[in-house]
């Protein structure tokens, strides 16, 4: 397959994955904020920290109130990671992929784009937000289903998986990192009922609450949540699972020695990690290391498979870290 | 009667209507269609029309208009009332198209080799000398089967007396076939009932035939050929079609920068696994941009060394470079003679009578009658640079006057035909709109003609301009078995 096409597949999927993750993050947070007492210190600005766009946000808005944060994350075209921007970029990428993807995939991506373009602005309003974002998530899920079941699991498909799981693992570590920083210091007060609520929200934003309850614990406690989201082998939205998927994908590509070596480093780091008893600084340092493993893996994949490309699309991390 | 409702007050004065005769009665080929449509209340027709529009949006069937800035999508209007033609009439058209393309390919091959037709005095050397699309770089080459124009989109129009004329031959990179295929798919999706009642010849085999035609050009006959569709990229007006055809054929969709010609003169594409050889290129970029070493040196769309690879027989290119020499509106006027010269037959499909501005008598007539004629530049496509006399302003005619005087070889003129019409759903009513027909003809190892083609409609009342680049729409085209 063409290097240009491989790169477009990879980015198309990263943009789609990011749009879905952002929608989930917003919906989970919107729900939990309704339950918190007014004096709780958790606020909308946490979302901006999760996506790592503090600097860009403060250039565009004065205060991180609900309306500004929602506009920034959902519709703002200045933010290349907003849902509207991501869906548009995914669609622009997929436009050049129509001969690779099953025909219905383009129709669904295009349909998702048209829906997002028409309705996303309404999702800034709390009353309509949930339904609209759920619809966007559903539409993205329908694309995933179609690609999983409707196209050959050939090299093209492996680039779709690579984009999906690198982006997902990156988002999981960001969510855990920021939330742990905000939440864990407050665990000194064990009877604080909002703690469990906030960790539930973390699980919800990763679409993991139900599976956590079923497979890890009925109690929602910080260290256990972090442990589950990093290390569970069966749930598709944990870092461990993402790394395993990446390994399986990379192994099916030609000349995969370099990327595979980097993956093994990340996997070993994860296996050696003990969550209980870590200080906040240690945990942050660790999650940071996993993120940089992922960044290296991305660069290695780009060098190995996309290097023929002369024009690169704008890289997501660069913008996210701006 | 609902049937009457559909066609009452429908009248296409002074025109030949494709579906309704002068007495307001459906023509035989369209009878079943109207019987079926009569069972739909108009509200239902309108509802289905809305469904079609929604489907077009989702499917992203779009045609880019150059002038629309950053908005690169624009849905091409689709009319739900099909254009119907009887199979008996179609057989004659089919035969005429085959005859025409066969002669044109013999002509192109002759021009690039012995030029017998020039030596025999049938085709003037001046016309050849003035042809912008004659590529000296192609001289002395004979591609597989002696065929240069593998894919041809021929524009047909019907005048008020019912005669079908060939308006032009598009031998360079004709587009529109994807709309023909999509239109059929839309109709099947939204009016399955009609397909049960009317016996409509299929069009869906086009992409298979295209694949076979291209595969036959492969220099490596013993292996499954690697076929690539070469596109200028997503900003080209026909990008949708390029990707559509690549997808349907299971071919690679490539841009110039994806390809490279090796020291062994073979063409390779840059893949995740390194370089892979390409056997056949279905190119959708003009000659000028194909190879910066040979044609325009500033072209970023083409591939350096591509012409060398082609001349050495390492890659098949469709249409062959230089095929456009016969796609020239002055050359067009010689086609009946070309057919007679190579095939010894009379043209089955007539040309529109034409005046060549290079001949002084004809030029004088043209210049004196600019308000009555349609004037076309020899080498433009998409309706650009044209003058429609009866609808022009004095200033436009003056400008054309000086352009013709400066470069007579580059202009020809034709009487303004009264294009035929067909009922078109406009604001909930059927109204006549002018249309043409572009069938697609393939020639490689075998010949193939689509059953029908792309019907283009001028959606504005009275307008004669059907080009999609000028805001035209389209209809599904049915060739039907006639009722006994």
d(CA B281, CA B269): 11
Element (H, E) at A318: helix A316-320
Regions of chain A where pLDDT drops below 50: 309-322
The confidence score (pLDDT) of residue B471 equals 67
Question: Would the pLDDT of B123 be above 50?
Answer: yes
- Is the predicted pLDDT of residue B105 greater than 50, yes or no? yes
Cβ-based contacts of B59 with chain A (< 8 Å)? 106-107, 110
Q: Mutation target for B interface from A99, A108, A301: give the one with most B CBs within 10 A.
A: A99
Rounded Cα distance, B307 and B58, in Å:
39
> Please, what's the b/e burial string for B359-389 (b: 16 or more CB within 10 A of its CB; e: otherwise)?
eeebbeebbeebeebbbbbbbebeeebbbbb
Given an 8 Å threshold on Cβ–Cβ distance, is A155 in contact with B59?
Answer: no
Q: What is the pLDDT of residues B332-367, one digit of tens each?
A: 999 999 999 999 999 999 999 999 998 999 999 999
Q: What is the DSSP letter of B335?
A: H
- What gap in Å lies between CA B466 and CA B458, rounded to an integer? 4
Q: Domain count of chain A?
A: 1
DSSP state of A74: I
Does the pLDDT of residue B222 top 70, yes or no?
A: yes
Asked if A117 has any chain B CB less than 8 Å from its own CB, the reply is no
The chain B residue lying nearest A95, using CA atoms, is B234
Picking from A3, A92, A98, the nearest residue to B271 by CB comes out as A3
Q: At B68, list the tokens.
A: 């629309």
CA distances from B379 to A51, A91, B327, B339 (A): 55, 36, 7, 21
Q: Write the pLDDT tens digit of every residue in B464-475.
A: 777 766 668 899
Touching B: A residues 251-310, CB under 8 Å: 253-255, 305, 308, 310
In this complex, do A3 and B272 lie within 8 Å of one another by their Cβ atoms? yes
> Which chain B residues contact residue A250 at CB under 8 A?
none
On chain A, the residues whose CB falls within 8 A of the CB of B239 are: 95
Residue-level pLDDT at B347: 97
Neighbours of B50 (CB within 10 A): 10
Poorest-pLDDT segment among A97-101, A145-149, B115-119, B392-396: A97-101
Say which CATH class B355-415 falls into: alpha beta
CB contact under 8 A, A106 and B60: yes
Residue A132, SS3?
A: helix
- Alpha-helix residue ranges (DSSP H) falling in B120-200: 125-129, 177-190, 192-197
Q: How far is CA A224 from each of CA A168, A227, A266, A272, rounded to the nearest angstrom?
A: 20, 5, 21, 16
pLDDT of B114 higher than 70: yes
CA separation for the pair B244, B181 (Å, rounded) = 10
Q: Which fold has domain B91-174+204-343?
A: Rossmann fold (3.40.50)
What's the whole-model pTM score?
A: 0.81
**What stretch of H or E contains B269?**
strand B267-271
* Residue A110: other Cβ atoms inside 10 A: 20
Considering only the beta carbons, identify the residue of B57, B244, B269 that sits closest to A2: B269
Reply yes or no on whether the pLDDT at B224 is more than 60. Answer: yes
Q: Which of B443, B439, B480, B473 is nearest to B456 (CA)?
A: B473
User: Closest chain B residue to A114 measured between Cα atoms?
Assistant: B58
CA neighbor of A90 nearest in space, from A146, A14, A144, A157: A14
B9 burial via Cβ count (<10 Å: 0-12, 13-18, 19+)? exposed
How close B426 comes to chain A (CA, Å)? Answer: 26
Mean pLDDT of chain B: 89
- Report the distance separating Cα A151 and Cα B132, nearest Å: 46
Chain-chain contact of B272 with A253 (C-beta, under 8 angstroms): yes
Residue B142 has pLDDT above 50, yes or no: yes
For residue B130, the tally of other CB atoms under 10 A from its CB is 17
pLDDT at A270: 92
Q: Measuring CA to CA, how many Å separate A280 from each of A49, A184, A221, A230?
A: 17, 8, 15, 16
Residues of B in contact with A254 (CB under 8 A): 272-273
- Summarised one tens digit per residue, pLDDT across range B177-193 is 998 998 998 899 888 88
**Cβ(B28)–Cβ(B64) under 8 Å?**
no
B177–chain A nearest CA distance, Å:
16
Give the CA count within 13 Å in the CB-facing half-sphere of B216.
Answer: 18
Domains B91-174+204-343 and B355-415 share a fold: no
Distance from CA of B53 to the nearest CA of A (A): 13
Rg (CA), chain B: 23
CB B378 within 8 Å of CB B193: no
pLDDT digits (tens, 9 = 90+) for B45-103: 888 888 888 877 777 665 544 433 444 455 678 899 999 999 999 999 999 999 999 99
Contact criterion met (CB below 8 Å) for B58 and A107 = yes
Burial label, B458 (beta-carbon count in 10 A; 0-12, 13-18, 19+): buried
Q: What is the pLDDT of residues B250-306, one digit of tens each?
A: 899 999 999 999 999 999 999 998 899 999 999 999 999 999 999 998 888 999 999
Q: Locate the chain B residue with the closest alpha carbon to A254.
A: B273
What ipTM does this complex have? 0.73
| Token pair for B368 | 């004196």
Residue A268 to residues A265, B392, B477, Cα–Cα distance (Å): 5, 77, 63
Asked whether the beta carbons of residue B243 and residue A3 sit closer than 8 angstroms, the reply is no
A103 interface with B at CB cutoff 8 Å: yes
Any idea where the domains of chain B sit in the sequence? 91-174+204-343, 355-415
């Amino acid at each position: 397959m063409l290097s240009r096409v491989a790169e477009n597949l990879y980015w198309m999927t990263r943009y789609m994955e990011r749009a879905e993750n952002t929608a989930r993050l917003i919906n989970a947070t919107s729900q939990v904020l309704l339950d918190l007492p007014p004096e709780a210190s958790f606020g909308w600005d946490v979302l901006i920290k999760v996506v790592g766009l503090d600097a860009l946000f403060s250039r565009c808005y004065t205060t991180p109130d609900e309306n500004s944060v929602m506009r920034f994350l959902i519709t703002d075209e200045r933010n290349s990671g907003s849902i509207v921007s991501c869906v548009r970029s995914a669609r622009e990428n997929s436009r050049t992929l129509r001969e690779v993807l099953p025909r219905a995939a383009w129709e669904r991506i295009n349909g998702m784009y048209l829906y997002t373009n028409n309705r996303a602005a309404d999702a800034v309003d709390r009353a309509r937000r949930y339904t609209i974002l759920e619809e966007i998530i559903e539409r993205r899920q329908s694309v995933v289903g179609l690609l999983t079941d409707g196209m050959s699991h050939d090299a093209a498909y492996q680039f779709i998986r690579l984009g999906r799981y690198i982006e997902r693992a990156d988002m999981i570590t960001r969510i855990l990192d920021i939330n742990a920083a905000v939440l864990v210091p407050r665990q000194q007060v064990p009877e604080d009922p909002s703690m469990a609520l906030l960790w539930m929200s973390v699980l919800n934003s990763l679409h993991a609450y139900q599976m956590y309850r079923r497979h890890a614990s009925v109690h929602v406690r910080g260290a256990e949540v972090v442990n589950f989201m990093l290390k569970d082998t069966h749930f598709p939205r944990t870092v461990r699972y993402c790394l395993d998927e990446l390994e399986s994908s990379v192994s099916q590509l030609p000349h995969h020695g370099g990327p595979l070596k980097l993956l093994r480093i990340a996997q070993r780091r994860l296996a050696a990690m003990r969550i209980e008893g870590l200080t906040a600084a240690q945990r942050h340092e660790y999650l940071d290391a996993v993120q940089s493993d992922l960044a290296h893996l991305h660069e290695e994949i780009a060098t190995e498979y996309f290097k023929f490309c002369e024009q690169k699309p704008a890289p997501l991390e660069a913008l996210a870290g701006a | 009667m609902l049937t009457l409702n559909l066609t009452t007050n429908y009248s296409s004065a002074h025109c030949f209507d494709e579906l309704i005769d002068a007495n307001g009665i459906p023509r035989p080929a369209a009878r079943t269609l109207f019987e079926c449509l009569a069972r739909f209340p108009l509200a239902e027709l309108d509802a289905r029309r809305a469904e079609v529009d929604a489907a077009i949006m989702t499917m992203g069937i779009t045609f880019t208009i150059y002038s629309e800035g950053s908005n690169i999508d624009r849905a091409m209007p689709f009319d739900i009332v099909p254009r119907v033609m009887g199979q008996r009439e179609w057989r004659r058209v089919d035969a005429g198209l085959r005859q025409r393309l066969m002669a044109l390919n013999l002509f192109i091959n002759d021009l690039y080799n012995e030029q017998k037709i020039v030596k025999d005095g049938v085709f003037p050397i001046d016309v050849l000398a003035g042809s912008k699309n004659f590529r000296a770089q192609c001289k002395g080459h004979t591609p597989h089967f002696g065929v240069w124009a593998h894919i041809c989109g021929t524009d047909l129009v019907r005048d008020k007396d019912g005669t079908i004329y060939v308006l032009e031959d598009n031998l360079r990179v004709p587009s529109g076939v994807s709309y023909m295929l999509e239109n059929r798919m839309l109709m099947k999706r939204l009016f399955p009932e009609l397909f049960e009642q009317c016996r409509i010849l299929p069009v869906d085999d086009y992409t298979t035939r295209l694949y076979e035609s291209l595969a036959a050009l492969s220099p490596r006959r013993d292996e499954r050929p690697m076929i690539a569709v070469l596109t200028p990229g997503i900003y080209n007006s026909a990008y949708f079609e390029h990707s559509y055809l690549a997808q349907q054929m299971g071919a690679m969709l490539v841009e110039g920068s994806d390809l490279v010609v090796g020291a062994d003169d073979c063409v390779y594409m840059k893949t995740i696994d390194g370089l892979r050889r390409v056997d056949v290129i279905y190119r959708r970029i003009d000659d000028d941009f194909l190879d910066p070493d040979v044609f325009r040196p500033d072209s970023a769309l083409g591939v350096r060394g591509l012409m060398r690879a082609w001349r050495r027989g390492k890659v098949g290119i469709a249409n062959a470079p230089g095929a456009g020499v016969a796609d020239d509106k002055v050359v067009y006027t010689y086609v009946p003679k070309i057919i007679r010269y190579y095939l010894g037959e009379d043209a089955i499909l007539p040309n529109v009578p034409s005046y060549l501005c290079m001949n002084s008598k004809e030029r004088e007539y043209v210049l004196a009658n600019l308000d009555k004629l349609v004037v076309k530049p020899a080498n433009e496509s998409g309706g650009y640079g044209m003058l429609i006399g009866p609808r022009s302003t004095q200033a436009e005619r003056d400008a054309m006057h000086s352009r013709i005087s400066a470069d007579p070889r580059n202009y020809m003129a034709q009487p303004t035909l009264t294009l035929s019409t067909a009922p078109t759903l406009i604001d909930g009513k059927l109204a006549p709109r002018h249309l043409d027909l572009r069938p697609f003809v393939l020639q490689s190892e075998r010949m193939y003609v689509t059953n029908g083609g792309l019907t283009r409609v001028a959606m504005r009342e009275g307008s004669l301009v059907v080009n999609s680049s000028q805001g035209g729409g389209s209809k599904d085209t049915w060739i039907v078995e006639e009722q006994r």
